[in-house]
């Protein structure tokens, strides 16, 4: 279930209340007249079946409530109620497959800001990956993948392109365009410093367990495509726990790090291979992510059209 908190002027609140009360997928409707301040208006609380949440929110938006008041969305972890179960049964589909688009857009928007924290995580992840490459330790590569924050902006690019939000797309691309080069440059400088200090070896050497980072092939693209689709499904569904598995499946952070490490050693073949690996992973993730969201968005738009046709 999804909990909605609606603040609206009295005239709009009455229309919203009528809409919510006649919708079978809505329950626990509470109307508190005149209790809201800044903006002034009525407060309406209700619970909506997750499958129908974006459709109901769309109806509220059509009343122009966001311009005169507000709509807040909260996810309900547990609801012990026969009435709530009836509302869920009235909604087509399964809650685990439902997409609350407002939640997706808000979540991705939060993860696209080009902040000091974002860049610091990019640098930290690439430095960890650099040590993993030099020591030929896959466990450190996995750790770097988990630390890296790059999937947030990548997911936001997909959402922005499918949902036609140019502002979100610009912020996401900017975060990636700054984060990756800064992280790679920091890795290059750190590698040169550690070589000079005698901590890193003088030669790039061989890397039996981590050579895959700089040797892309078709399977690199295949994994990126599958991981991108899985990441979008995790982002849009209730199964967010799968996102960690996605993070350790793609080779974006290790590849960008290896560009800096190999450049520091003058191994241009490895640097070029790592750059190709990075490009392949980014392309695969974005393409499959967009395709996944496109299918989900088309299903939502069809449901929304049926809903509006039933109302007329």
CB-based contacts of 265, cutoff 8 Å, min separation 6: 191, 195, 203, 204
For every residue of 45-103, DSSP letters joined together read EEEE-GGGHHHHHHHHHHTTHHHHSEEEEEE-S----HHHHHHHHHSSS-GGG---HHH
Q: If you search the block for the tokens 């609801």, which residue do you land on? A: 79
Check whether residue 205 and residue 126 sit in a common domain: yes
Check whether residue 64 and residue 138 sit in a common domain: no
Tokens of 76: 């309900």
Residue that finishes a domain, picked among 98, 121, 137: 98
Q: What is the CA radius of gyration of the chain?
A: 24
Residue scoring higher pLDDT (50 or 7): 7
Q: Interhelix angle for 166-196 vs 116-135, to 10°?
A: 40
Is residue 310 predicted with pLDDT exceeding 80? no
Check whether residue 55 and residue 119 sit in a common domain: no
Specify if 311 maps to a domain.
Answer: no
Residue scoring higher pLDDT (260 or 228): 260
Check whether residue 69 and residue 119 sit in a common domain: no
Check whether residue 74 and residue 151 sit in a common domain: no
User: Any idea which of 232-241, 259-268, 270-279 has the lowest mean pLDDT?
Assistant: 232-241
Check whether residue 86 and residue 111 sit in a common domain: no
Count up the domains in the chain and report the number: 2
Check whether residue 221 and residue 85 sit in a common domain: no
Check whether residue 199 and residue 229 sit in a common domain: yes
Specify if 139 maps to a domain.
Answer: yes
Specify if 147 maps to a domain.
Answer: yes
Check whether residue 78 and residue 148 sit in a common domain: no
Residue that finishes a domain, picked among 55, 76, 98: 98
Specify if 305 maps to a domain.
Answer: no
Check whether residue 114 and residue 94 sit in a common domain: no
Residue that finishes a domain, picked among 82, 98, 114: 98
Check whether residue 81 and residue 127 sit in a common domain: no
Please give the average per-residue pLDDT across 60-87, as a whole number.
Answer: 89
pLDDT tens for each residue of 229-255: 988 888 887 555 556 666 666 789 999
User: Which residue range forms the structural domain that includes residue 7?
Assistant: 2-98
For residue 11, what is the domain's CATH number?
3.30.70.120
3, 46 Cβ separation under 8 angstroms: yes
User: With pLDDT > 70 as the criterion, what percentage of the chain qualifies?
Assistant: 95
- The answer to whether the peptide bond before residue 39 is cis (omega within 30 degrees of 0) is yes
């Amino acid at each position: 279930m999804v909990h909605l908190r609606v603040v609206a002027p009295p005239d709009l609140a009455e229309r919203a209340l009528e809409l919510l009360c006649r919708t079978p997928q809505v329950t626990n409707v509470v109307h508190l007249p005149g209790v809201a301040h800044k903006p002034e208006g009525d407060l309406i609380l209700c619970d909506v079946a997750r499958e129908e949440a974006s459709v109901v929110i769309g109806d509220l938006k059509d009343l122009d409530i966001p311009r005169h008041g507000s709509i807040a969305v909260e996810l309900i972890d547990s609801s012990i109620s026969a009435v709530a179960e009836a509302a869920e049964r009235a909604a087509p589909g399964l809650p685990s497959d439902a997409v609350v688009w407002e939640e997706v857009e808000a979540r991705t928007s939060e993860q696209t800001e080009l902040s000091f924290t974002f860049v610091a995580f990019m640098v930290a992840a690439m430095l960890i990956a650099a040590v993993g490459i030099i020591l030929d330790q896959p466990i450190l590569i996995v750790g770097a993948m988990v630390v890296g924050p790059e999937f947030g902006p990548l997911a936001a690019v997909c959402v922005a392109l499918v949902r036609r939000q140019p502002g979100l797309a610009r912020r996401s691309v900017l975060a990636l365009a700054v984060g990756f080069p800064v992280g790679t440059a920091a890795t290059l400088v750190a590698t040169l410093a550690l070589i000079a200090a005698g901590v890193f070896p003088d030669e790039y050497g061989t890397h039996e367990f981590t050579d895959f980072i700089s040797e892309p092939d078709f399977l690199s693209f295949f994994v990126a495509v599958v991981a991108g689709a899985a990441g979008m499904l995790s982002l849009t569904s209730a199964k967010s726990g799968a996102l960690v598995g996605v993070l350790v499946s793609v080779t974006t952070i290790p590849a960008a790090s290896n560009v800096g490490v190999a450049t520091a050693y003058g191994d241009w073949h490895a640097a070029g291979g790592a750059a190709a690996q990075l490009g392949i992973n980014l392309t695969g993730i974005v393409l499959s992510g967009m395709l996944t969201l496109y299918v989900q968005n088309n299903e939502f738009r069809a449901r929304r059209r049926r809903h509006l046709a039933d109302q007329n």
